[in-house]
């Protein structure tokens, strides 16, 4: 380690540390923490590690909270959300009245994403019924999530709701065809105001109001600010480029009061722009520190990959001037030189999408079996991971005895098969809710719950035990089925089905209905996790079941004992909340952040969308980029009611959003994405391409054009790019290396 860096770390200076991913910044931050803990009179709880989200703080949790951690008070690890909530709970009696709450004496109910959607849904439904959103084509749940996103970004960037929507209206192109979008934005503004009024009236605190209370009340109060700043004398801010403007403002105010500070920033990152990240604001913190050190060595990436990052950076950046957060990618690579090209792809690609999937599975088997690559050091990346893609990959890998794991945090809970199974069984166990599941849902629930029950026999069992013509929500007995159907389903499966049915009917006859989260826990523990049932050896299903139970519990805690929860002698409050929760999840509401879901097995091929992989902040040996011809590598999701760039503090107020701005932002986002992925690769990137994508349309996206340009620049490859296409067998054997 350089003597200058050691001197800076082993001091109480305020230091700004930057460099590419893999240059050892987090290792150095941990070294400073250990040095601080080794000093006399420094307690662990006087040190605070501030991360943008909990998943990015995992290295600190593992290093400082394990069996080998020092005795005494532990180092505090938190996020802006965690700090603000703790402060609001502490100072609630002082700020409730001044913040405008109708009943300051009532304890607040903190809302997560799911409960915030539940409270906003009636307001959006009213606007939908009035035709306010007829001018745009967006699903109901996406309207709710985008309106909530606007409130969150306004609070994080210290905008008023009016200012936020004024900025959004300037992002709408001129012309009559966009009148419907302007009307929808005005309806969204009205819903935002109504939602905030509801929160103040019912003492509810969603994330946006939580940040406002923290920024405009607690930090604005001299006593509250001084008390907060005195709690910690040493601050470590990691991944500052992924932080939001509110977090950077907090650090600016805190720095003069700190004994020491270390601010760590990844270069060319800021990958959470769509969630409000402010990398330019993070770079500005360097001027407030006494020293600034830039690390310029990546310790695991091969020299070939390092050279390719520079080529990609030059190709995507073009002639645009660098921004305040952009640093040239000139750094040394200390990784092992394996003599492999950075990019590997089949000669010519494939015509059809399934051929590309088969090629990926073949190459993973070759890497694992013949080249000794560890299974956990392989990642399959795509711009979006659909159900069909996940099923195809996992089925193919299972057929080669290669374990795999996947994570899609933006996926609605009801889209998880294990969650749909539990939700269907909950509806069958509570006939008084009058939520009748469909016959296909019952068939799927039985297929997942009873092992081994295939889709055909599950459909036969559902048709026989739960016929569509039956007016009541009742499951028939296996013994009452026709003998030919009993034989077709088999008596062993029938016995397991009867055990499940008996448990449900014993619960129904028990008289005491449980809160839904407790029902899920009992159903999983007493039946579904037992031998002979589908969740017994399925770790992914167990994870989903735990997430569903946690989600239902948080929903109940947020609403119980409030005037909005209701309840009567016929249906106690907790049971009514269970019915409402079933309706919320069944409507396709997005799930809240579930931290254990990010902790996938380390000995499995990881399948994820690109940004989800990046937010894990973990390097692998080999990456497979699927469908490089897809426009999803370059285009933003269609979000007519929100806009991550104009709701940024770096965007000038009153400036319209133009087509050139859109093009430039897409180029910059793809550049950050590609550099982030490549810097998290030790060995090689495999590029999967097919003429026709998953939806059957021809693929000619920006990433494919970039790869063609790199191929043309490569010596000895001529000017053919990725076409012409050879026959399939030849494509499997021949590779293009870049």
Q: pLDDT tens across 23-54, in order?
A: 999 999 999 999 999 886 789 999 999 999 98
Q: Which fold has domain 3-78+233-296?
A: Rossmann fold (3.40.50)
Residue 507 pLDDT > 80, yes or no?
Answer: yes
3-state DSSP of 104-157: CCCCCEECCHHHHHHHHHHHHHHHHHCCCCCCCCCCHHHHHHHHHHHHHHHHHC
Residue 598 pLDDT grade (very low, low, confident, very high; cuts 50, 70, 90): confident
The answer for 718, left when phi > 0, alpha when psi is -120 to 50, beta otherwise, is left
User: What average pLDDT score do residues 700-719 get?
Assistant: 75
| Local structure of 212: helix, strand or coil | helix
**Tokens at residue 51, please?**
């991360």
Helix (H) / strand (E) containing 17: strand 14-19
Range in 250-259, 311-320, 547-556, 659-668 the model is least confident about: 311-320
Q: Which residues of 212-225 are buried (b: 16+ CB within 10 A; e: fewer)?
A: bbbbebbbebeebb
Lowest mean pLDDT across 40-54, 321-335, 655-669: 321-335
- Taking residues 327-355, what's their average pLDDT? 79
> Do residues 563 and 542 lie in contact, with contact meaning Cβ atoms separated by under 8 Å?
no
What pLDDT does residue 726 have?
A: 41
C-alpha span between 552 and 409 (Å, rounded): 17
Contact between 364 and 624 (Cβ < 8 Å):
yes
Query: Which residue intervals of 510-624 are DSSP H helices?
Result: 516-523, 539-559, 573-586, 610-616
**pLDDT of 730:** 37
Q: For the CA atoms of the chain, what is the radius of gyration?
A: 28
Residue 584, both tokens: 């919320």
- The half-sphere exposure of 668 on its side-chain side, counting CA atoms within 13 A, is 24
Cis peptide leading into residue 242 (ω within 30°): no
CA 663 distance to own-chain centroid: 25
Contact yes or no for 240/269 (Cβ under 8 A) = no
- Which pLDDT score is estimated for 326? 52
Residue 705 has pLDDT above 50, yes or no: yes
Relative orientation angle of helices 222-231 and 80-95, to the nearest 10 degrees? 140
Tokens of 176: 């009559």
Strands (E), 161-226: 204-205
Q: Indicate the Cα dihedral angle 700, 682, 327, 55, nearest 10°.
A: 90
Q: Which two tokens stand for residue 651?
A: 């965007």
In angstroms, the Cα distances linking 503 to 88, 399, 508, 523, 533 are: 44, 35, 9, 8, 13
| Residue 360 and residue 380 in contact, taking contact as beta carbons nearer than 8 Å | yes
- The secondary structure element, H or E, covering residue 343 is strand 343-346
DSSP letter at 657 equals: P
Please, which residues have CB within 8 angstroms of residue 24's CB and are 6 or more apart in sequence? 295, 297, 299
What pLDDT band is residue 498 in, cutting at 50, 70 and 90?
very high
Instruction: Please state, in angstroms and rounded to a whole number, the distance separating the CA atoms of residues 51 and 83.
Output: 11
pLDDT in tens, 145-195: 999 999 999 999 999 999 999 999 999 987 656 788 999 999 999 999 999
Local confidence band at 2 (pLDDT 50, 70, 90 cut-offs): confident
- The arithmetic mean of pLDDT across residues 506-514, rounded, is 85
Q: What are phi and psi of 682, to 5 degrees?
A: -90, -35
Is 343-409+601-737 the same fold as 3-78+233-296? Answer: yes
Buried b (16+ CB within 10 A) or exposed e, 584-615: bbbebbbbbebeebbebeeebbbbbbbbbbbb
User: Angle at Cα 110 formed by Cα 105 and Cα 116, nearest 5°?
Assistant: 125
Strand order in the sheet with 378-382: 404-406, 605-609, 378-382, 620-625, 681-687, 343-346, 735-737
Predicted local distance difference test score (pLDDT) of residue 727: 40
pLDDT of residue 734: 64
Q: Coil, helix or strand for 405?
A: strand
Percentage of the chain lying above the pLDDT 90 cut: 66
Residue 185 host element (H or E): helix 179-202
Name the maximum alpha-carbon separation found in the chain.
Answer: 83
Going 502 to 506 to 509 to 515, the CA torsion angle's sign is negative
Distance between CA 657 and CA 167 in Å, rounded? 9
- What single DSSP character describes residue 472? S
Provide the mean pLDDT of the chain: 89
The pLDDT tens digits for 675-698 are: 999 999 999 999 999 998 888 888
The C-alpha atoms of residue 689 and residue 535 are separated, in whole angstroms, by 36
Q: Please check whether residue 498 is in contact with residue 505, taking contact to mean a CB–CB distance below 8 angstroms.
A: no
Chain segment 94-107, per-residue pLDDT in tens: 899 999 999 999 99
DSSP 3-state of 699: coil
Domain ranges of the chain: 3-78+233-296, 101-204, 303-333, 343-409+601-737, 413-588
- CA dist 585 and 209 (Å) reads 24
Contact yes or no for 83/229 (Cβ under 8 A)? no
Question: How many Å apart are CA 575 and CA 561, to the nearest integer?
Answer: 13
Helix H, strand E, coil C: the string for 527-555 is HHCCCCECCCCCHHHHHHHHHHHHHHHHH
What gap in Å lies between CA 667 and CA 647, rounded to an integer? 19
Coil, helix or strand at residue 298 = strand
Strand partners, 291: 15
Q: What is the mean pLDDT of residues 136-152?
A: 95
* Contact predicate 85/110, CB 8 Å: yes
pLDDT band of residue 533 (cuts 50, 70, 90) is very high
pLDDT digits (tens, 9 = 90+) for 625-644: 999 999 999 988 889 999 99
Q: For the whole model, what pTM was predicted?
A: 0.89
Which uninterrupted H or E stretch holds 3?
helix 3-9
Structural contact between residues 736 and 722, judged by C-beta atoms closer than 8 angstroms: yes
Tell me which CATH homologous superfamily contains domain 343-409+601-737: P-loop containing nucleotide triphosphate hydrolases (3.40.50.300)
The terminus-to-terminus CA distance of the chain in angstroms comes to: 33
Contact 669, 675 (CB under 8 A): no
């Amino acid at each position: 380690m350089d003597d200058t860096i050691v001197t800076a770390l082993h001091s109480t200076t305020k230091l700004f540390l930057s460099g590419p991913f893999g240059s050892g910044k987090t290792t150095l931050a941990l070294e400073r923490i250990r040095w601080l803990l080794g000093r006399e009179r420094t307690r662990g709880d006087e040190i605070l590690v501030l991360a943008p989200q909990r998943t990015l703080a995992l290295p600190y949790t593992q290093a400082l909270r394990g069996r080998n951690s020092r005795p005494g008070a532990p180092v505090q690890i938190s996020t802006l959300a965690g700090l603000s909530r703790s402060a609001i709970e502490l100072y609630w009696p002082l700020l409730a009245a001044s913040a405008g709450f109708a009943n300051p004496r009532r304890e607040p109910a903190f809302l997560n994403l799911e409960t915030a959607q539940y409270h906003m849904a009636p307001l959006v439904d009213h606007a939908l019924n009035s035709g306010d959103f007829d001018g745009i084509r967006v699903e109901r749940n996406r309207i709710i999530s985008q309106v909530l996103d606007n409130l969150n970004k306004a609070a994080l960037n210290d905008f008023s709701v009016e200012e936020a929507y004024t900025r959004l209206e300037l992002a709408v192109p001129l012309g009559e065809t966009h009148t419907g979008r302007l009307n929808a934005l005005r309806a969204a503004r009205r819903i935002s105001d109504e939602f905030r009024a509801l929160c103040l009236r019912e003492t509810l605190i969603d994330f946006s109001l939580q940040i406002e209370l923290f920024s405009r009340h607690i930090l604005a109060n001299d006593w509250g600010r001084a008390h907060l700043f005195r709690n910690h004398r040493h601050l470590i801010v990691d991944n500052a480029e992924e932080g939001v403007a509110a977090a950077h403002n907090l650090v600016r105010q805190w720095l003069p009061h700190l004994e020491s500070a270390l601010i760590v920033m990844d270069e060319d990152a800021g990958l959470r722009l769509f969630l409000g990240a402010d990398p330019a604001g993070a770079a500005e913190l360097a001027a407030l520190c006494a020293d600034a050190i830039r690390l310029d060595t990546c310790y695991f990436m091969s020299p070939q990959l390092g050279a390719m990052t520079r080529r990609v950076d030059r190709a995507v950046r073009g002639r645009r001037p660098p921004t305040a957060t952009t640093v040239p990618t000139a750094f040394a690579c200390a990784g092992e030189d394996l003599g492999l090209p950075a990019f590997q792809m089949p000669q010519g690609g494939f015509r059809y999408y399934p051929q590309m999937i088969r090629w990926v599975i073949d190459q993973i088997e070759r890497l694992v079996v013949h080249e000794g690559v560890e299974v956990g050091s392989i990642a399959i990346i795509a711009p979006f991971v659909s159900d069909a893609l996940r099923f195809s990959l996992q089925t193919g890998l299972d057929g080669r005895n290669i374990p795999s794991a996947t994570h899609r945090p933006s996926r609605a809970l009801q889209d998880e098969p294990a969650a749909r199974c539990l939700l269907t069984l909950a509806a069958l166990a509570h006939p008084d809710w009058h939520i009748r599941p469909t016959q296909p849902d019952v068939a799927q629930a039985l297929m997942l719950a009873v092992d081994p029950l295939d889709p055909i026999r599950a459909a036969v069992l559902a048709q026989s035990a739960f016929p569509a013509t039956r007016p009541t929500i009742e499951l028939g007995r296996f013994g009452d089925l026709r003998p030919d159907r009993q034989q077709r389903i088999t008596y062993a499966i029938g016995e397991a089905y009867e055990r499940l049915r008996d448990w449900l009917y014993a619960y129904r006859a028990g008289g005491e209905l449980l809160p839904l989260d407790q029902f899920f826990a009992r159903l999983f523990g007493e039946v579904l996790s037992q031998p002979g049932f589908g969740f017994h050896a399925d770790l992914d299903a167990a994870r989903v079941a735990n997430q569903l139970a946690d989600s239902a519990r948080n929903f109940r805690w947020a609403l119980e004992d409030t005037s909005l929860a209701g309840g009567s002698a016929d249906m106690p409050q907790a049971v009514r909340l269970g019915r409402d929760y079933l309706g919320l999840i069944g409507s396709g509401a997005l799930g809240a952040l579930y931290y254990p879901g990010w902790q996938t097995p380390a000995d499995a091929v990881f399948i994820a969308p690109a940004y989800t992989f990046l937010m894990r902040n973990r390097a692998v040996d080999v990456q497979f980029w699927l469908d490089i011809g897809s426009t999803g590598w370059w285009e933003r999701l269609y979000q007519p009611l929100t806009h991550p760039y104009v709701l940024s503090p770096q965007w000038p107020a009153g400036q319209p959003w133009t087509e050139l701005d859109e093009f430039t932002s897409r180029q910059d986002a793809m550049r950050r994405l590609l550099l982030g992925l490549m810097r998290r690769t030790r060995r090689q990137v495999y590029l999967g391409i097919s003429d026709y994508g998953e939806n059957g349309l021809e693929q000619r996206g920006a990433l494919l054009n970039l790869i063609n340009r790199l191929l043309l620049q490569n010596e000895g490859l001529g000017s053919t790019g990725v076409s012409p296409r050879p026959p399939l067998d030849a494509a499997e054997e021949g590779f293009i290396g870049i």
